């Protein structure tokens, strides 16, 4: 193949990364515009960039390996990409002052780019670069409350992330040394039969688990989620996590392990540990956001097994759970933000809000959905998960799936007891100093809309599946 052919091939393949390029250029444009304008103009540009990236993502029809194997495109990368872009657009709903809004949107865009690349990564180099890109943006965004605690959380997050990336890099080196390839797609069932590459693979998992927040790499979550700005937290708790899950699913899709391999036991064991740590940790928290962040850890544990099982059900469950999780977390952090602006931070502070019945009821419904009770979409997501686990148990004959199922069911019940502490504080306490908090109508309407969507997705779950089909086929 001569040089011209190679160049032509690269040019043809570039279509697959147009969305990322647009985001990166858009990020720079946001920075440049930030020199002259602030506020509305920045937000408008941010939205335009997102819509444009969405368009590029939808029209991209490439699938499979591109750019000499460094990226791999699939149904998941295109549909999750749209999900991430839409999630990012919801950040505009949060109230954000003009202070440093340029930089904020710049880092959101670069985190988004990193997440999109992370999903598509096929080369270990891309995996490392995209994880670092996401991480760096997150470290900086954690600072954006510009308070002492925010800096503290940020440096702790950074150190934790740096150690994890060092461990991962070491693992990548070992994998490289023992397989002499960087490409995930060149792995096969023989690759990890020796001990050395297995060690390397585990060290690689540490880096990915850090992004998904799987135990023991979940310890950074509470402090970071508690101190970062609410919109950044909402974004961080959704997009990088789901991107890393898609990446993990892609790695396990390669059939590099048989289903009774000990790696499966290990990952499932860590998933169970995550669920337990998240659920138990949440019980005694006094800060509302900290409690939700432990809940988010438990949700990572719920999502994890869906990457291990290779079946249509598992893929559909992952997609459905992710969509519902994105909606729930977005609206939860939105409501937490609204309350925090009125000085309501601790769970006990919610006793003061017993006057604002409407928003309280909506908030309670959202939390019920996070628990996973009918008639909200959270229940359907859990039901899908349980069905998948059962299928995994009966098809793969992996009895650990059954244990996972049992722990997941118990944890779902257990999570009722901490999530419902907020509704309890709102509705069941006779508080003396009942000041009505200041909520405008748009907040109420917005929260209600989200809630209706969650209800709708419970009654018509096939909408989500059809959306996936539709998003995947739009380019035709």
Partner 1 sequence: MSEQMLTYYLYLAAFLFASGTYIVLTRRSAIFVLIGVELMLNGANVVLASFSQFDPAMNGQIFAIFAVVLTVCEVSIALAILLNIYRKSRVSNLDELNQIGNT
Partner 2 sequence: MDGVGTKWWPYKHKGSVNEVLIISLLFLPLAGGVFGMLFKNTSYSIGGIGLSFAASLLVIINSIEFNTAIQWLPDYSLGIKLDSTAAILICLVTLISLLVHTFSLEYMREDDGKHRYFAKLGLFTFSMIGLLLADHLILLFVFWELVGLTSYLLIGFWYKKDGIPASARLSFMVNRIADVALLAGILMINNSGSLNISELSGTWLFLPSILVAIGAFGKSAQLPFSGWLTKAMVGPTPVSALIHAATMVAAGVYLLFRVAPFMHESTLIIVALTGTFTALYGGLCALFQHDIKKVLAYSTISQLGYMVMGIGVGAGSASIFHLFTHAFFKAGLFLGAGAIIHYLHQVTKADAQDMRNMGGLKKALPWTYSTFLVCALALTGIPFFSGFMSKEGIIIAGWEWAEQIGAWAYIVPDVGLITAFLTALYVGRMVLLVFYSENRLEEKIVAFSENLSLKVPLIVLALGSFWFVFDWNPFAHESRLSGYWSSTPSHSSDSISLIVMILSTLLAISGLVLAYSFFKPGSNYEQSFSKLEVGKFKLAFNGFYLVALYQSIGRGFSRFSQFTFAVDQMVVDGFIHFVGVGSVVISKVIALIDRFMVDGPVNLCGHISAFVGKRVAGLSSRDIQTQLAWLLAGVILILSWILFF
- Residues 6 or more apart whose Cβ sits within 8 Å of residue 373: 379, 416
Among 44, 155, 456, 470, binds partner 2 (CB under 8 A): 155
Three-state secondary-structure class, residue 147: coil
Which of the choices partner 1, partner 2, none does residue 417 contact, using the CB cut-off of 5 to 8 A by kind?
partner 2
Three-state secondary-structure class, residue 287: strand
Which of the choices partner 2, partner 1, none does residue 195 contact, using the CB cut-off of 5 to 8 A by kind?
partner 2
264/309 Cα distance (integer angstroms): 10
Q: Under the criterion CB under 8 A, does residue 51 sit at the interface with partner 2?
A: no
Q: Under the criterion CB under 8 A, does residue 410 sit at the interface with partner 1?
A: no
Which of the choices partner 1, partner 2, none does residue 177 contact, using the CB cut-off of 5 to 8 A by kind?
partner 1
Among 428, 449, 452, 470, binds partner 2 (CB under 8 A): 428
Q: Under the criterion CB under 8 A, does residue 283 sit at the interface with partner 1?
A: no
193/190 Cα distance (integer angstroms): 5
404/272 Cα distance (integer angstroms): 6
Stretch that binds partner 2, among 120-128, 172-180, 246-254, 459-467 (CB under 8 A): 459-467
C-alpha distances (whole Å) from 310 to each of 229, 253, 391, 467 are 37, 7, 11, 21
Shortest Cβ 225–partner 2 spacing (Å) = 15
Stretch that binds partner 1, among 158-166, 267-275, 303-311, 463-471 (CB under 8 A): 158-166
Task: Report residue 398 CA to chain centroid gap.
Answer: 27
Shortest Cβ 374–partner 2 spacing (Å) = 5
Stretch that binds partner 1, among 123-131, 299-307, 312-320, 357-365 (CB under 8 A): 123-131
Rank residues 173 and 375 by Cβ distance to partner 1 and give the closer one.
173
Shortest Cβ 374–partner 1 spacing (Å) = 32
**Cα angle for residues 296, 457, 336 (degrees, 5° grid):** 40
> From the CB of residue 193, how many other CB atoms can be counted at a distance below 10 Å?
11
Contact pattern from residue 207 through residue 226 relative to partner 1, giving x for each residue in contact according to CB under 8 A and a dash for the rest: ----------------x--x
**Cα angle for residues 45, 47, 50 (degrees, 5° grid):** 110
316/114 Cα distance (integer angstroms): 24
100 φ, ψ (degrees, to nearest 5): 60, 25
Rank residues 150 and 281 by Cβ distance to partner 2 and give the closer one.
281
Three-state secondary-structure class, residue 123: strand
- Over its C-alpha atoms, the chain yields an Rg (Å, rounded) of 22
Among 39, 173, 177, 216, binds partner 2 (CB under 8 A): 216
Shortest Cβ 88–partner 1 spacing (Å) = 22
Task: Report residue 196 CA to chain centroid gap.
Answer: 31
Residue 216: closest CA among 174, 168, 269: 269
Cβ atoms of 290 and 225 closer than 8 Å: yes
Rank residues 180 and 462 by Cβ distance to partner 1 and give the closer one.
180
Among 96, 211, 290, 382, binds partner 1 (CB under 8 A): 290
Shortest Cβ 451–partner 1 spacing (Å) = 29
Cβ atoms of 134 and 211 closer than 8 Å: yes
Contact pattern from residue 230 through residue 269 relative to partner 2, giving x for each residue in contact according to CB under 8 A and a dash for the rest: --------------------------------x---x---
Strands 64-66 and 71-73: antiparallel
Which of the choices partner 1, partner 2, none does residue 459 contact, using the CB cut-off of 5 to 8 A by kind?
partner 2
In the block, residue with structure tokens 């759970």: 321
Q: Under the criterion CB under 8 A, does residue 452 sit at the interface with partner 2?
A: no
73 φ, ψ (degrees, to nearest 5): -105, 140
Q: Which residues bind partner 2 (CB under 8 A)?
A: 155-156, 159-160, 163-164, 167, 195, 198-199, 202-203, 206, 215-217, 219-220, 262, 266, 280-281, 283-284, 373-375, 380, 383-384, 386, 390, 409, 413, 416-417, 424, 428, 430, 459, 461-462
Q: Which residues bind partner 1 (CB under 8 A)?
A: 124-125, 128-129, 132, 136, 139-140, 143, 148-149, 151-156, 158-159, 162-163, 165-167, 169-170, 172-174, 176-177, 180, 182, 223, 226-227, 284-287, 290, 346
């Amino acid at each position: 193949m001569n040089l011209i052919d190679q160049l032509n091939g690269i040019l043809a393949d570039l279509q697959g990364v147009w969305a990322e390029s647009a985001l990166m250029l858009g990020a720079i444009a946001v920075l440049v515009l930030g020199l002259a304008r602030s506020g509305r103009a920045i937000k408008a540009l941010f939205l335009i960039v997102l819509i444009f990236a969405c368009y590029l993502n939808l029209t991209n029809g490439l699938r499979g390996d591109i750019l000499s194997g460094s990226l791999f495109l699939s149904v998941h990368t295109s549909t999750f990409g749209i999900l991430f872009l839409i999630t990012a657009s919801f950040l505009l709903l949060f109230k954000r002052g003009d202070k440093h809004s340029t930089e904020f949107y710049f880092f959101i865009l670069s985190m988004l780019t990193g997440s999109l690349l992370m999903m598509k990564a096929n080369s270990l180099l891309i995996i490392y670069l995209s994880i670092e890109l996401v991480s760096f943006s997150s470290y900086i965004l954690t600072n954006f409350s510009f308070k002492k605690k925010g800096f503290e959380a940020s440096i702790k997050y950074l150190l934790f992330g740096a150690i994890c990336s060092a461990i991962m890099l070491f693992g990548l080196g070992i994998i490289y040394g023992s397989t002499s390839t960087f490409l995930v797609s060149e792995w096969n069932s023989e690759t990890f039969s020796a001990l050395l590459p297995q060690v390397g693979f585990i060290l690689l998992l540490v880096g990915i688990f850090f992004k998904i927040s799987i135990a023991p790499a979940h310890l950074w979550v509470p402090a970071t989620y508690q101190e970062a700005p609410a919109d950044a937290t909402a974004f961080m708790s959704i997009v990088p996590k789901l991107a890393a899950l898609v990446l993990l699913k892609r790695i396990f899709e390669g059939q590099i392990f048989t289903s009774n391999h000990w790696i499966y036991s290990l990952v499932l064991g860590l998933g169970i540990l995550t669920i337990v740590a998240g659920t138990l940790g949440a019980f005694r928290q006094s800060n509302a956001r900290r409690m939700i962040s432990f809940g988010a850890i438990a949700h990572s544990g719920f999502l994890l097994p869906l990457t291990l099982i290779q079946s249509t059900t598992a893929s559909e469950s992952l997609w459905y759970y992710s969509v519902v999780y994105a909606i729930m977390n977005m609206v939860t952090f939105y409501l937490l933000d609204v309350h925090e602006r009125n000085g309501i931070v601790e769970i006990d502070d919610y006793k003061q809000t017993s006057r604002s019945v409407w928003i309280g009821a909506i908030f309670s419904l959202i939390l019920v959905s996070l628990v996973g009770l009918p008639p909200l979409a959270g229940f359907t997501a859990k039901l899908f998960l349980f069905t998948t686990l059962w299928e995994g148990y009966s098809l793969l004959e992996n009895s650990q799936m059954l244990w996972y199922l049992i722990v997941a069911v118990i944890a779902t019940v257990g999570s009722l007891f901490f999530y419902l502490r907020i509704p309890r504080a709102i509705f069941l306490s006779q508080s003396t100093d009942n000041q009505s908090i200041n909520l405008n109508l748009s907040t109420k309407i917005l929260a209600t809309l989200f809630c209706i969507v969650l209800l709708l997705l419970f009654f018509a779950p096939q909408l989500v599946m059809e959306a996936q089909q539709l998003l995947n086929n739009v380019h035709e």
